[in-house]
Amino acid sequence: MAKILVAGGAGYIGSHTTHYLLNQGHDCVVVDNLVTGYRHNVEPSRLRQIDIQDTPALSDLFAAEKFDAVLHFAASIAVGESTKIPQKYFRNNTGGSFSLIDAMLDSGVNKIVFSSTAAVYGTPAKTPITEDMPFQAESPYGESKVMVEKALQWNAQFAGLNSVCLRYFNACGAEPKANRGEEHIPETHLIPLVLRAATGVGKPVTVFGTDYPTRDGSCERDYIHVMDLASAHALALQHLLDGGSSRQFNCGTGEGFTVLEVIKAVEEATGKKVPHSIGPRRDGDPSTLVADSTRIRTELGWKSTRSALADIVRDALEFEPIRLQRAS
Ligand code: UDP
């Protein structure tokens, strides 16, 4: 079993993946600045409160602990915000990753699984999206990840640093039995907002546009359960530990659901109507983002086991009381 540094392990996807890796028997040390991550997501003995932009602090940690690999989740994630404060994204996401890569190279750790995004593709020329489609980011957020992916490719070629870039589609769901779920502040993601509207703890939902070329006019997305994403990380890690070379993989199920279909699924799960209205399109939203996930299925043997929309909604709903209690 391996010793893993998990950067951003107190956040949403990082904390679910850490939970998954610990259950597999790996040893994890979490590095997080706790700006958007939560102390309650990490056992105290595993947490090091360090900002990944602090290269000397990272180097000290690498010198003190003998890591086999790094999983890197630490990032700012709001596409909309990135169009207002681009430099926050280049500093935190690109600069932070470069700092982490520097510390890895200095200490001879040469395996990293990097959290990338479907936003690297921008508006794709065809759907479903395959990994060989070009980088066409349409936001500073997407570009901040493209820059890291490119640096990782060059470092693989010339510095012996092996990486797996996982391009997430729409992460969602929760692991309520481990007290983990989505706790973004502010929450901007569709599924938690629809759940809160249904249960009366949130405002009515605005559907951002119903004039897209989809089944019902609303945007179509590929929703992947956060624990299916965690298993993708575990497989990517194993690929590197087994001596595998650098790869890029889409992380999605291959099946898309529209905004109106998500609302219907929540109505079925809760037995309640979701108060909603139709609004204008949101800037930067492509009509359809659905992954071709053939590569990760065939090369890593990944399977989606929890990403049926009804299961995602049920798990997110079950986490709601835990979230509400913490927020109160
Ligand atoms: N969406 C919406 N109303 C909301 C939030 C999101 O209609 O209040 C739509 C959004 O336009 C997109 C989909 O829901 O088509 C998923 O959005 P989310 O912000 O959850 O993830 P993204 O696709 O931006 O990563």
Rounded average pLDDT per 10-residue block, the chain, 328 residues = 98 98 98 98 98 98 97 95 95 98 98 98 95 96 98 98 98 98 95 97 97 97 98 98 98 98 97 97 89 98 98 98 94
User: Which letter, b or e, does each residue of 11-50 get, where b requires 16 or more Cβ atoms within 10 Å of its Cβ?
Assistant: bbbbbbbbbbbbeeebebbbbbbeebbeeebbeeebbbeb
Tell whether ligand 1 has an atom less than 6 A from the beta carbon of residue 188.
Answer: yes
- Residue 180 has what DSSP assignment? B
Domain boundaries, the chain: 3-171+226-251, 176-221+254-327
* Residues 230 and 180 sit within 8 Å (Cβ to Cβ): no
Give the pLDDT score at 285. Answer: 85
Tell whether ligand 1 has an atom less than 6 A from the beta carbon of residue 205.
Answer: yes
Query: What's the CA-to-centroid distance between 170 and ligand 1, angstroms?
Result: 9
Structure tokens at 214: 């989809």
**DSSP three-state, residue 270:** helix
Query: What's the CA-to-centroid distance between 159 and ligand 1, angstroms?
Result: 39
Tell whether ligand 1 has an atom less than 6 A from the beta carbon of residue 285.
Answer: yes
Tell whether ligand 1 has an atom less than 6 A from the beta carbon of residue 316.
Answer: no
User: Which letter, b or e, does each residue of 74-84 get, where b requires 16 or more Cβ atoms within 10 Å of its Cβ?
Assistant: bbbbbbebbee
- Residue whose Cα lies nearest atom 4 of ligand 1: it is 190
- Taking the whole predicted model, whether its pTM rises above 0.95 is answered as yes
CA dihedral 289, 308, 130, 297 (to 10 degrees): 170
CA angle in degrees (0–180, nearest 5) for 92-97-102? 130
Residues paired with residue 30 on neighbouring β-strands, in sequence order: 6, 47
Cα separation, 108 vs 104, whole angstroms: 6
Give the pLDDT score at 283. Answer: 80
Tell whether ligand 1 has an atom less than 6 A from the beta carbon of residue 207.
Answer: yes
Which fold is adopted by the domain 176-221+254-327?
Answer: UDP-galactose 4-epimerase; domain 1 (3.90.25)
Which fold is adopted by the domain 3-171+226-251?
Answer: Rossmann fold (3.40.50)
Cα separation, 236 vs 209, whole angstroms: 36
Tell whether ligand 1 has an atom less than 6 A from the beta carbon of residue 219.
Answer: yes
Give the pLDDT score at 35. Answer: 97
- Residue whose Cα lies nearest atom 20 of ligand 1: it is 189
Query: What's the CA-to-centroid distance between 37 and ligand 1, angstroms?
Result: 22
* Residues 286 and 122 sit within 8 Å (Cβ to Cβ): yes
Atom of ligand 1 nearest to the CA of 193: 8
For this structure, is 141 an active site residue?
yes
Place of tokens 């546009």: 209
Atom of ligand 1 nearest to the CA of 189: 20
- The yes-or-no answer to whether 3-171+226-251 and 176-221+254-327 have a common fold is no
- Residue whose Cα lies nearest atom 14 of ligand 1: it is 190
Q: Choose the catalytic residue: 12, 89, 121, 141.
A: 141
